Structure 1
Amino acid sequence: MSELYELLGGSTPENNLAEEYARVVDHFGRIASAIEDGNLHYAWDKVHGLRQALDAFEARLGKEVTEDGETFQRFTGRELDGQKVSTAAVAFARAHRAGKLLHPTEQIKDEAVRRAVLDQEERTRRVWGNED
């Protein structure tokens, strides 16, 4: 488990929702890159992936039907911590091109998490030599 994931508390409903959000953000960035490159086939392919990511995100937020046909709101009755979702969503999304554009690190209120995100981004820059 990475330092960032440990700081965020591991596998929690908040982190699972945040990971689904980051997946949506990743697909938007991939589509933008494909359009910039003029690679319409890749853009088309990533639109399909975006639909799947949006469906998964919606499923985390949406209604569920039990075996006996009862419908319930997935998060009703659960005490999801909105600040934890926000922190994890920004932290996870920043691993992707579009996430860096949408979410400045200043949105992460937890200093240890912010530092872990910045450290991870710096390691990536050193290894890959990019400025994304």
Structure 2
Amino acid sequence: MIKPFLLVFLGGGIGSLCRYGVWLLIRPWQMHFPWATFVANAIACFLLGLFLAWQGHSWLSDERRLLLITGLCGGFSTYSTFTAESWGLWQSGHYLALAAYTAGQFVVCTAFLLLGVRLGT
């Protein structure tokens, strides 16, 4: 009964560490655009697309779905950070960056999800 919680916990921890790694790699280029969150969300959507495409395969059991989809992708994706950074762009008057960031997140993350599904099938 506790195993599903442990799988989500483990996957979420790994996803959070991956997100932090992306932030460490990209933060020197942040400037007035939150690239680290943008890239982390795109990668998480790509992985989610792959995992969703693989759901019908026998190796992707319910336990692995909890680990990879709920845990890893949930820990890697940064929607709450995305909204906070969007608000920060609004507050600082960077309206063009805000528009590019919010529209870009939707377009790029949707495209990466579809790419993951396509590569996974």
TM-score normalised according to structure 1 size: 0.43
**Which has the larger share of strand?**
1
**Which has the larger share of helix?**
2
TM-score normalised according to structure 2 size: 0.46
